[in-house]
A and B are shown apart, each in its own frame.
Chain A
């Protein structure tokens, strides 16, 4: 049985709730987008219910604590159906057996969960490193990224603490949403039909007058700090994979 949910974490947890209510423990959580390929399997539309989701979270915390519960949220951000299913089955197991050894690395589903979380954390760390702000003449600093996983929610607090006195916008172009900080609070934004989000490197007219100069200086610095006789492009590529170059000032 496919459980079709809206792609939110609350929706995902609502699937767990439904699975217990209907005793359909073999269900597979999916989003609407992923259904075309499985036309012939049975499916059930699961409506997102925040109350049900909260009850699931509270139950999880009782058994595996805060830290363990957060693992499942991070795994969910993988945006990957197979990891979703692995997490779903572990939560089902947790409630059916009333326990789960979250650090039992000898148990394949748990090891898989941790490997998935490791990937998420690596991507989160990369976003802290690779996000590049472009300053426009209204003093807004804009960054556009396309992370492999849905990790922007995990880094906004970091950017708020660090760039507390400047307004910024971080936009995930792949998932078409972002976060705007106005100097006080962070607000989630998604595009209206009227304002389309563009690649900030293409914005010529609205840039801060010094923006291009600083981009150029950064490129100069990047080149000058390289030691030619130690050149190692293989290692360079491993640290800065090509898919990130599009939004890195020094690599465009």
Chain B
């Protein structure tokens, strides 16, 4: 027998490979109970690996009838098993929340008995939180593939976000490591929830009192580096899922070897592909917030992202014909294509240039990565050099400058841009 502390340890440990910890995007208000959701999300602390802790992320149980070789909770794995009761999860969530440790709950589960049985247990937790505890904090719930439509729809009334993990970017890859699963079983719950979100949005136009339904939308996750897909295949899958299911986020999780028996997978002790994971996130951002289309960054000629430089810089070096860009006249959509200038700085530049043409020194102080940007932009006092005709030269000098701060093949969690 083991105590509650051990149980928490086992079921938090088993849940940590789900990387999503976002608590943003919901608009749930406190209506006479406790809690609300912060539109921008709040990270209450950070683990020693540098990842944000926003939600209490746990499994209902790590018992599982499936045997997916990339998963730590697969049935053939010799690990300690445990299960929470509904009451235990509710009490833990409420007590952590009231002490301001967390923004809410991220609840997932191994599949025990059947999909419906599992989904029903998860549903009981969120229903109890919302109706009995009058809890208005953030709830992220895993939709269990194969669960019935009515259960999924009921759960959707209580949660802020739902997600189903794609796990492996391609069907062929998935067959290698999880022969019992397929992509279709992921698409089904995503479709049910997407349609219901759209239905209720229509209803809301007529009746303002239509209840909230998954207000923070849906997300999914792919494991990177467990199977042999290239970056182009990964981003194609992501792009399709963003479009087909209106996903709010796709997460990329560098595979951490946890299986000594399956020779298809990277061996235990292999470092997780953190730089690659970071480049994929940067690409994801470029597609969603910077107006890039996938084929500009990855295509049949360039199937993998450059690990040494970020994807925007790589694109710029392949397309010198667009540069330099005059920051005093260019539109916002072009300024954000300059390597080293982000959306916030671009907005400031647009504001500031109303009051007079900007010089290099002024733009530098606004907070751009000047050492990258200087090769690609024109300010009022820029002396035009021929530098941008020689992408290789630019690449070398930027990398020389970055060699101190960004270590190639670095073994650690990276930040975006």
Interchain CA distance A104-B348 in the complex, whole Å: 8
* Given known A-B contacts A230-B256, A239-B43, A133 and B48 have beta carbons under 8 A apart: no
Interchain CA distance A225-B57 in the complex, whole Å: 8
Mind listing 17 A-B residue pairs with CB under 8 Å? A105-B352, A108-B365, A111-B366, A128-B42, A132-B99, A162-B30, A164-B32, A165-B34, A166-B98, A210-B95, A221-B12, A221-B96, A229-B256, A230-B256, A235-B49, A235-B412, A251-B45
Which residue of B4, B32, B50 is within 8 Å of A236 (Cβ)? B50
Among B42-65, those with CB < 8 Å from A are 42-53, 56-57
* Chain A residues within 8 Å of B134, by CB: 165
B5–A217 contact, CB under 8 A?
yes
Which residue of A108, A131, A238 is within 8 Å of B100 (Cβ)? A131
* Given known A-B contacts A229-B256, A232-B413, A236-B49, A217 and B366 have beta carbons under 8 A apart: no
Chain A residues packing against B (C-beta within 8 Å): 101, 103-108, 111, 125, 128-135, 141, 143, 158, 161-166, 210, 214, 216-218, 220-236, 238-240, 248-251
Tell which of A107, A229, A251 has the most Cβ of chain B within 10 Å.
A229
Tell which of A166, A240, A251 has the most Cβ of chain B within 10 Å.
A240
With CB as the reference atom, state the residue of chain A lying closest to B17.
Answer: A227
* Given known A-B contacts A214-B96, A231-B49, A235-B413, A104 and B352 have beta carbons under 8 A apart: yes
A101–B355 contact, CB under 8 A?
yes
B16–A133 contact, CB under 8 A?
no
Which residue of B8, B47, B256, B355 is within 8 Å of A106 (Cβ)? B355
Interchain CA distance A25-B298 in the complex, whole Å: 59
A227–B16 contact, CB under 8 A?
yes
In this complex, the interface size class of chain B, counting residues with CB under 8 Å from chain A, is: 35 or more
Q: A134-B99, A231-B49 are in contact. List 19 more A-B contacts (CB 8 A).
A: A103-B351, A105-B348, A128-B42, A132-B101, A133-B99, A162-B34, A163-B34, A210-B95, A218-B101, A220-B5, A221-B12, A222-B47, A225-B53, A225-B57, A232-B49, A234-B50, A234-B412, A235-B412, A236-B50
Interchain CA distance A229-B49 in the complex, whole Å: 8
B47–A161 contact, CB under 8 A?
no
A239–B50 contact, CB under 8 A?
yes
A230–B272 contact, CB under 8 A?
yes
Report the minimal beta-carbon distance from A219 to chain B, rounded to whole angstroms: 10
Among B88-107, those with CB < 8 Å from A are 92, 95-96, 98-101
Chain B residues packing against A (C-beta within 8 Å): 4-5, 8-10, 12-13, 15-17, 29-30, 32-36, 38, 42-53, 56-57, 92, 95-96, 98-101, 134, 256, 271-272, 274, 348-349, 351-356, 358, 362, 365-366, 412-413, 415
Report the minimal beta-carbon distance from B303 to chain A, rounded to whole angstroms: 26
* Chain A residues within 8 Å of B366, by CB: 105, 111
B8–A233 contact, CB under 8 A?
no
* Chain B residues within 8 Å of A216, by CB: 5
Which residue of A106, A128, A134, A218 is within 8 Å of B38 (Cβ)? A128
With CB as the reference atom, state the residue of chain A lying closest to B134.
Answer: A165
Interchain CA distance A238-B9 in the complex, whole Å: 26
* Chain A residues within 8 Å of B348, by CB: 103, 105
